[in-house]
């Protein structure tokens, strides 16, 4: 077995970069900080590739399953006699896969940002935060136990907060960052409660112990029941709540579209490829517990994923901000992954969904990062997010156009690009798992193709738009990452995932189910066709259709009024109905009582002070009378 202790360096290098750049960045030339950040990440990426190579091919004898290896671990905090928080790195197929995904995308984003962020105020801050994020995300995937995961989970949340609010002078960015943090924080509350419940019942945080089929989690799965579900199910549902928050699943998704206020490379890295799939990773990490111990919780996962994917796809069809379209598309695709996990079983072919989910995660990271970076290049060129102000850009931005098109085809699921393979596996898994969800996914596949090509045509085709200054292609430092990612999007599908990343570590066969694949491709083509018909040239068709379905269009355009609902709950209920009365209550009732006590004292003293009249004779009179009374009482009446 290979020694993987060095994997701990993968997160630590970005951390060192963060500290170094964060403390000294303002003293160096901006470009230097960018280069340091990129170099650090490149180093981490190389290490990640070496790890992957070692794990999957060198240190592995063919035919046996992949085991999970605890490469490194130290105690961080003792909690109870059983529970200790440890920090370390756990190497197994999904963590290695995630390492590759994160370092690759992060490296591309770093390189891209050197160009994209040029001349921005706070250049070094940007790279420091990117390194912080990379550190947190890598720490998250390497977590050996669920509490370590929670720790890094919070850290990615904060990195995301800092990066969304990067343009902190823009009120909308500040609001968005706040929203992102608080919504995910709320979800994390569920995660934390889930962890507390799970760890209390199993006496461990450790993933290896938890997921072991003979471990306490799965063997004690029955447990006490509460409202028809076992304690284990409840804790897993709570944990999934955390995952749903981070992965922007319905109804905790509202922060994701707003998070697009951050710089575009951030959206590519955090809100498309890596952080938002943390929820998927979390469920995958605990998958044996879900699958073997609490199938009820897994159903929840499946349905939440399915609903989110449809919901987001519908909204994506009507949005006009290109980054928001991509955000909803991300949400929809993550819904796919969740659904795949939800319908999956454990072991062998049963675990097809698990494999498909991870596969899709991998390919999605490539093409979605590509889409965002491409969108970034477009925004860079025209200084606007709004696609109604774009059109016919293909001749100004040839490289961007080509790579964007590749990404669109990939996400639409046209063979032989990678999206086709991973999506196909998901559909097969859904077909085997749950027919209702399967049909939803078919619909979503069509919608996906439609809105992606709507986006594509609106940007690169359509009307000839007049720009303030002629758009120009991005510099090489930005286009090279696009090309690399395009390459990944095309060929990632040929990776033998069914041999590498499976629910039980053992490889299995996945013949392509043509009966499912062909209709899905046809539906995708249909979507593309409709989009081509509607948006390739400027026609009145879109408006007519929007008019025909005016209610649906309006609801979709307003994101089904989810934001308004949340706003109502937070502003009206929490602020005005809880917080304000609490503040009032405190000032007037609690403090009023205290002041009232003081007031009573004062009132009494005002009343009593008349005795201190300064009149000697009055004193003398009271004294004499008192003396007489005392004599009377003590001599005669006692």
Contacting residues toward other proteins, per CB under 8 A: 75-81, 83, 85, 147, 150-152, 154-155, 158, 161, 165, 168-171, 174-175, 177-178, 181-182, 185-186, 188-189, 192-193, 196-197, 199-200, 574-575, 578-580, 582-583, 586, 590-591, 593-595, 598, 609-610, 612-617, 620-621, 624-625, 627-628, 631-632, 635
- CB nearer to other proteins: pick between 29 and 580: 580
- CB nearer to other proteins: pick between 178 and 536: 178
- CB nearer to other proteins: pick between 470 and 605: 605
Shortest Cβ 75–other proteins spacing (Å): 6
- CB nearer to other proteins: pick between 90 and 341: 90
- CB nearer to other proteins: pick between 62 and 616: 616
Shortest Cβ 13–other proteins spacing (Å): 17
- Could you report how far apart the first and last alpha carbons of the chain are, in Å? 100
Shortest Cβ 581–other proteins spacing (Å): 9
- CB nearer to other proteins: pick between 170 and 395: 170
Return the structure tokens found at 244: 């749903």
Return the structure tokens found at 595: 């002041």
Return the structure tokens found at 270: 């955090």
DSSP secondary-structure letter at 568?
A: I
Shortest Cβ 383–other proteins spacing (Å): 20
Shortest Cβ 590–other proteins spacing (Å): 5
Cite the DSSP H helix spans in 222-286. Answer: 231-246, 255-258, 264-268, 278-285
Shortest Cβ 167–other proteins spacing (Å): 9
Return the structure tokens found at 407: 């990404």
Bridge partners of 87, per DSSP, are 74
- Give the DSSP letter string of 45-56: HHHHHHHHHIII
- CB nearer to other proteins: pick between 237 and 370: 237
Return the structure tokens found at 405: 């098109």
Nearest residue to 475 via CA among 99, 107, 116, 73: 116
Shortest Cβ 444–other proteins spacing (Å): 32
* Rounded distance between C-alpha atoms, residue 230 and residue 595, angstroms: 51
Nearest residue to 365 via CA among 402, 401, 419: 419
* Rounded distance between C-alpha atoms, residue 119 and residue 570, angstroms: 37
Shortest Cβ 619–other proteins spacing (Å): 10
| Chain-centroid distance, C-alpha 232 | 24
Cβ-contact 132, 116 below 8 angstroms: no
- CB nearer to other proteins: pick between 189 and 506: 189
Cβ-contact 197, 238 below 8 angstroms: yes
- CB nearer to other proteins: pick between 468 and 607: 607
Shortest Cβ 215–other proteins spacing (Å): 20
Return the structure tokens found at 12: 């630590």
* Rounded distance between C-alpha atoms, residue 333 and residue 310, angstroms: 10
* Rounded distance between C-alpha atoms, residue 364 and residue 488, angstroms: 10
Q: Which long-range contacts (CB under 8 A, 24 or more apart) does 17-26 make?
A: 17/41, 17/127, 17/128, 17/131, 18/128, 18/129, 18/131, 18/132, 18/135, 21/124, 21/127, 21/128, 21/131, 22/125, 22/128, 22/132, 25/124, 25/125, 25/127, 25/128, 26/124
Return the structure tokens found at 539: 């026609």
- CB nearer to other proteins: pick between 54 and 145: 145
- CB nearer to other proteins: pick between 152 and 535: 152
Q: Which long-range contacts (CB under 8 A, 24 or more apart) does 549-556 make?
A: 552/314, 553/318, 556/314, 556/315, 556/317, 556/318
Shortest Cβ 162–other proteins spacing (Å): 8
Shortest Cβ 463–other proteins spacing (Å): 35
DSSP secondary-structure letter at 169?
A: T
- CB nearer to other proteins: pick between 219 and 579: 579
Return the structure tokens found at 468: 């303030």
Shortest Cβ 172–other proteins spacing (Å): 10
- CB nearer to other proteins: pick between 85 and 221: 85
- CB nearer to other proteins: pick between 16 and 189: 189
* Rounded distance between C-alpha atoms, residue 323 and residue 188, angstroms: 26
Buried b or exposed e, range 42-64, using 16+ CB within 10 angstroms = bbbbebbebbbebbbeebbeeee
């Amino acid at each position: 077995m290979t020694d993987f202790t060095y994997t701990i360096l993968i997160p630590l290098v970005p951390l060192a970069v963060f500290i170094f750049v964060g403390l000294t960045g303002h003293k160096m030339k901006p470009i230097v900080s960018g280069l340091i950040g990129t170099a650090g990440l490149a180093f981490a990426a190389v290490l990640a590739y070496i790890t992957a190579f070692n794990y999957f091919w060198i240190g592995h004898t063919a035919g046996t399953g992949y085991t999970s290896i605890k490469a490194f671990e130290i105690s961080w905090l003792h909690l109870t006699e059983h529970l200790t928080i440890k920090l370390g790195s756990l190497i197994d197929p999904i963590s290695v896969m995630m390492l590759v995904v994160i370092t690759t995308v992060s490296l591309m984003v770093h390189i891209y940002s050197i160009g994209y962020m040029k001349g921005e105020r706070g250049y070094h801050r940007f790279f420091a935060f990117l390194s912080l994020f990379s550190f947190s995300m890598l720490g998250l995937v390497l977590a050996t136990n669920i509490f370590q995961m929670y720790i890094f989970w919070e850290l990615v949340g904060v990195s995301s907060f800092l990066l969304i609010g990067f343009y902190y002078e823009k009120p909308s960015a500040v609001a968005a960052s706040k929203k992102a943090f608080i919504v995910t924080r709320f979800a994390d509350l569920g995660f934390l409660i889930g962890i507390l419940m799970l760890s209390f019942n199993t006496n461990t945080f450790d993933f290896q112990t938890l997921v072991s089929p003979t471990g306490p989690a799965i063997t004690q799965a029955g447990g006490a029941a509460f409202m028809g579900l076992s304690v284990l199910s409840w804790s897993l549902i709570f944990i999934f709540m955390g995952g749903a928050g981070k992965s922007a699943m319905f109804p905790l998704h509202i922060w994701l579209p707003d998070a697009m206020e951050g710089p575009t490379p951030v959206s590519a890295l955090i809100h498309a490829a890596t952080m938002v799939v943390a929820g998927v990773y979390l469920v995958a990490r605990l998958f044996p517990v879900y699958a073997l111990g609490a199938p009820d919780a897994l159903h929840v996962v499946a349905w939440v994923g399915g609903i989110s994917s449809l919901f987001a796809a519908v909204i994506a069809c009507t949005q006009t901000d290109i980054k928001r379209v991509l955000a909803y598309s991300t949400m929809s695709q993550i819904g796919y992954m969740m659904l795949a996990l939800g319908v999956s079983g454990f072991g062998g072919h049963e675990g097809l969904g698990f494999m498909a989910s991870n596969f899709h995660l991998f390919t999605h990271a490539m093409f979605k990062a590509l889409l965002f970076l491409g969108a970034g290049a477009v925004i860079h060129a025209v200084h606007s997010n709004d696609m109604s102000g774009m059109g016919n850009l293909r001749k100004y931005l040839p490289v961007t156009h080509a790579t964007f098109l590749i990404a669109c085809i990939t996400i639409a699921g046209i063979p032989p690009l990678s999206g086709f393979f991973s999506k196909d596996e998901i559909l097969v898994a859904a077909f085997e798992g749950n027919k209702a969800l399967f049909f939803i996914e078919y619909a979503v596949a069509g919608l996906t193709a439609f809105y992606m090509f709507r986006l594509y045509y609106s940007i690169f085709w359509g009307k000839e738009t007049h720009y303030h200054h002629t758009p120009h292609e991005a510099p090489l430092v930005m286009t090279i990452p696009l090309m690399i990612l395009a390459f990944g999007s095309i060929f990632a599908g040929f990776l033998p995932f069914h041999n590498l990343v499976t629910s039980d570590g053992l490889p299995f066969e996945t013949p392509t189910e043509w009966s499912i694949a062909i209709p899905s491709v046809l539906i995708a083509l249909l979507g593309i066709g409709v989009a081509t018909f509607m948006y390739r040239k400027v026609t009145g068709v879109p408006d007519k259709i929007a008019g025909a379905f005016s209610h649906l269009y309006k609801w979709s355009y307003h994101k089904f009024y989810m934001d308004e609902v949340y706003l109502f709950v937070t502003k009206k209920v929490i602020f005005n109905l809880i917080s304000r009365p609490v503040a009032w209550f405190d000032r007037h009732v609690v403090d009023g009582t205290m002041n009232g006590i003081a007031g009573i004292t004062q009132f009494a003293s005002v009343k009593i002070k008349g005795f201190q009249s300064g009149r000697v004779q009055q004193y003398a009179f009271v004294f004499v009378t008192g003396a007489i009374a005392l004599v009377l009482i003590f001599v005669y009446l006692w």
